[in-house]
Amino acid sequence: MDLKLAKVSAVVLSQGNNPRLLNPDFLERNGIAPPDWTVKDVLVTPPLAQVTYENGVQFLVEIGKLQIQINKPEAVSWEKNLPYMATTYLDLLPHVTYRSAGVNFIFNAPCYPDHPYMRLLKGGPWHTGAGGLTGATVELQYQNELPFMTLRIGLEKKAGTEQGSRENLVFSANFHHDFDQEDSVGRAAFIESIGTLKTRFLEFAKTLPFD
């Protein structure tokens, strides 16, 4: 498969975040975001705050969650920058009760109307009933060891091309790790392993029945 990384993010669940702290000045002053990044959008409210940059880096803070998402992986050195931004933010506000963390990847792969994800579904009359099956999302869960991995596989419809109607096969991979509140070292190490987790997923993807 010709897998292309579309988005990557780090998420930390917490208790006691203050979304009103988040703004471009806060991020720049504390060395989380560099001063030469151009701000695209800012939203600050009591329950939620968001700062988005032109290069696709997006900070989202809710009372119970911190999320840093890279919407244009090709525009930034995300394997280095994303762990740095996340761990710097966590270290800056140690009074917040941080717990589990997640690393998420969205990969796209072009495909055509043969719907290759159907290879993961058992055949039967439910494929043709009700006018015919037009879509499905398959979720695979692996929770026997940490970090847990959940993989959702589905389709994203695209405009037609000269070669015919085109769709993207979408792989949404989530790695989740539970941590005690005090385990800041383990939490940081997990987030910093984001490059290794990407490699782990790409190796796993080779076992899927797509070619």
Q: Which residues pair with 154 in a beta bridge?
A: 170
At 138-179, the pLDDT tens digits run: 999 999 999 999 999 988 766 555 555 567 889 999 999 999
Q: Which token pair is 30?
A: 């504390």
Residue 35's Cβ-count burial label (10 Å; 0-12, 13-18, 19+) is exposed
At 65-82, the pLDDT tens digits run: 999 999 999 999 999 999
DSSP assignment string, 158-178: ---BTTB--EEEEEEEEEEE-
Q: Where residue 120 falls among pLDDT bands split at 50, 70, 90? A: confident
What residue segments make up the domains of the chain, in order of their start? 4-205
Q: Where residue 115 falls among pLDDT bands split at 50, 70, 90? A: low
Q: Which helix (H) or strand (E) holds 105?
A: strand 97-111
SS3 7: strand
pTM: 0.91
SS3 33: coil
Give me the residue label for tokens 């897998």.
3
CA distances from 195 to 5, 56, 125, 164, 167 (A): 12, 19, 42, 35, 27
